[in-house]
Copies of this chain bind each other. A is one copy, B any other.
Amino acid sequence: MDVNQAIHLLKSKGYKHTDKREDMLNIFTKHKGYLTARNVLNELKDRYNGLSFDTIYRNLSLFVDLGILEETEFNGEKHYQMKCEDDRCQHLICIGCGITQNVNVRPFEDQLERSNDFKITGHKFEIYGYCSLCH
């Protein structure tokens, strides 16, 4: 999903288009990897004097609810990135820079679903390590 699609989705649900929301979305589309609320605030605090965590958190949460961002928790913090088109997409997460690479485990999950009596509702398949640049 790109920024325009996301903004269109917001409007279609009755939410408003604000500069802060657009900027937040731009940050995520330009950064290939997970960001925390603090990361987002740091990116925007020069542009918006007095920008508060509340707004960041509220919008991050809204974006997740609308399916624009996906959320994961590690290192005691919630991390966000643009949601993959493929709901089976999975990540390698560089613990140096936060960059993620996608990997495909669909065949694995397909096999799992056939062979197990387990109804999948969500998953977290993340491999932590160092990407080629940080390594």
Is A121 part of the contact surface with B, judged by Cβ < 8 Å? Answer: yes
Tally of this chain's copies: 2
Q: Which of A82-132 contact B (CB under 8 A)?
A: 92, 94-95, 101, 103, 105, 108-109, 112, 116-132
Chain A, interface residues (CB within 8 Å), range: 20 to 34
Assess the B103–A121 pair: CB atoms within 8 A. Answer: no
Measured between beta carbons, the chain B residues less than 8 angstroms from A132 are 117-118
Task: State whether A122 touches B128 (Cβ < 8 A).
Answer: yes
Least Cβ–Cβ distance between A38 and chain B, in angstroms: 16
Contact A127 B135 (CB under 8 A): no
**Secondary structure call for the A interface:** strand
A54 within 8 A of B: no
**Assuming A125-B125, A128-B124, is B135 touching A119 (CB within 8 A)?**
yes
Of all chain B residues, which has the CB nearest A123? B127
Q: Is A76 an interface residue (CB 8 A)?
A: yes
The answer to whether B135 and A129 have CB atoms under 8 Å apart is no
Using CB atoms and an 8 Å cutoff, list the residues of chain A in contact with chain B: 73-74, 76, 92, 94-95, 101, 103, 105, 108-109, 112, 116-132, 135
